[in-house]
Amino acid sequence: MYVVDKVNNTILPLLRKTFSQSGFSERAHLQEWIVSHPEVFGEKLLIIQKEFNEFQDTYERPDLLALDKAGNLVVIENKLDDSGRDVTWQALKYASYGSTLTKENIRDIFQKYLDSNAEGKTATDILEEFFDEKEYSELVLNQRMSQRIILVAANFRKEVTSTALWLMNFNIHLQCFKTTPYELNGQYFLTFDQIIPIKDAQEYIISMNNKVQEEVSTDESNKTRSKIRLRFWSEFLKAIKTKSPLYQNSNPTKDNALLAGVGVTHVTYQVVISSDKSYVKVNFGRASQEENKVLFDALYRYKEAIDKEFGDNLSWERSEGIIRSSVAFYAPAQNYYNEVEWPAIISFLVEHINRLEKAIRPFIGDLKTALRNIADEGLEVLEPEQ
Asked, as a colleague might, if the bond just before 245 is cis with ω within 30 of 0, I would say no
pLDDT at position 276 is 84
Angle between helices 303-310 and 342-360 (to 10 degrees): 140
Q: Are the beta carbons of 295 and 367 closer than 8 angstroms? A: yes
pLDDT at position 203 is 64
Angle between helices 103-117 and 123-130 (to 10 degrees): 110
- Model pLDDT for residues 99-129, shown as the tens digit of each residue: 999 999 999 999 999 999 887 899 999 999 9
Q: Are the beta carbons of 56 and 71 closer than 8 angstroms? A: no
Q: How far apart are CA 65 and CA 232, in angstroms?
A: 38
* Residue ranges in the chain whose pLDDT is less than 50: 218, 381-386
CA-based radius of gyration for the chain: 25
- Predicted structure pTM score: 0.64
Q: Are the beta carbons of 254 and 273 closer than 8 angstroms? A: no
Q: How far apart are CA 324 and CA 190, in angstroms?
A: 33
**Side chain identity, residue 150:** I
DSSP 3-state helix, strand, coil percentages of the chain (rounded to 5)? 45, 20, 35
pLDDT at position 128 is 94
Q: How far apart are CA 75 and CA 168, in angstroms?
A: 16
Q: What are all long-range contacts of 374-383, with beta carbons under 8 Å and residues at least 24 apart?
A: 374/290, 374/291, 374/294, 379/290, 380/288, 381/288, 381/291, 382/286, 382/287, 382/288, 382/291, 383/265, 383/266, 383/286, 383/287
